[in-house]
Copies of this chain bind each other. A is one copy, B any other.
Amino acid sequence: MSETTTRVRYPETDRMGIAHHTHFFTWFELGRTELMREAGCAYGELEDNERVFFPVIEAGAVFKSPARYDEVLTIGTRLVRAEGARVRFEYAISRSDGTLVATGFTEHASCDEAGKPIRMPASLAARLGTR
């Protein structure tokens, strides 16, 4: 489980006065970015050096409690699968008093530059697999 935090930005709020749901998927991305960095395979380097890409092929979220402007949110991220050409992360976003704000998942294909699914390099799977 990796944890990182973000503050709700003003343009992430909508006229309902709460964070718009689309931004939770951006926050999920912050979560997996930090998890991968901690696992020793920063995603940017993966793309730049190994030409491996993890496009999202499925995503879902349950929104349990509204997030408000300037709130600090904690994004907990767990890698639940990394094998073959598939990677799956699960997320739980909570506020500082522990209230659960949202849960979600993303499923990724491991692809080459042209978008063709490829098995992850063994070294990458190993580093992720240690999570």
The answer to whether A58 and B69 touch across the interface, beta carbons within 8 angstroms, is: no
The answer to whether A44 and B66 touch across the interface, beta carbons within 8 angstroms, is: no
The answer to whether B60 and A61 touch across the interface, beta carbons within 8 angstroms, is: yes
Q: Which residues, 19 to 57 on A, are CB-close (under 8 Å) to B?
A: 20-23, 25-26, 29-30, 33, 42-44, 47, 53, 55-57
The answer to whether A61 and B63 touch across the interface, beta carbons within 8 angstroms, is: no
Interface segment, one of A8-16, A77-85, A88-96, A119-127 = A8-16
Closest to A106 in B: B21
Residues of chain A at interface, number, CB under 8 A:
38
The answer to whether A26 and B9 touch across the interface, beta carbons within 8 angstroms, is: yes
Residues from chain B with a CB closer than 8 A to the CB of A21 are: 25, 55-56, 59
A16 touching B55 in the complex, CB below 8 Å, given contacts A10-B33, A33-B70, A42-B70: yes
What is A's interface to B at a CB cutoff of 8 Å?
Answer: 9-11, 13-18, 20-23, 25-26, 29-30, 33, 42-44, 47, 53, 55-64, 66, 68-70, 115
Inter-chain pairs besides A11-B20, A15-B18, A58-B62, 8 sampled, C-beta below 8 Å:
A9-B29, A9-B30, A15-B69, A18-B55, A25-B25, A44-B70, A58-B60, A59-B63
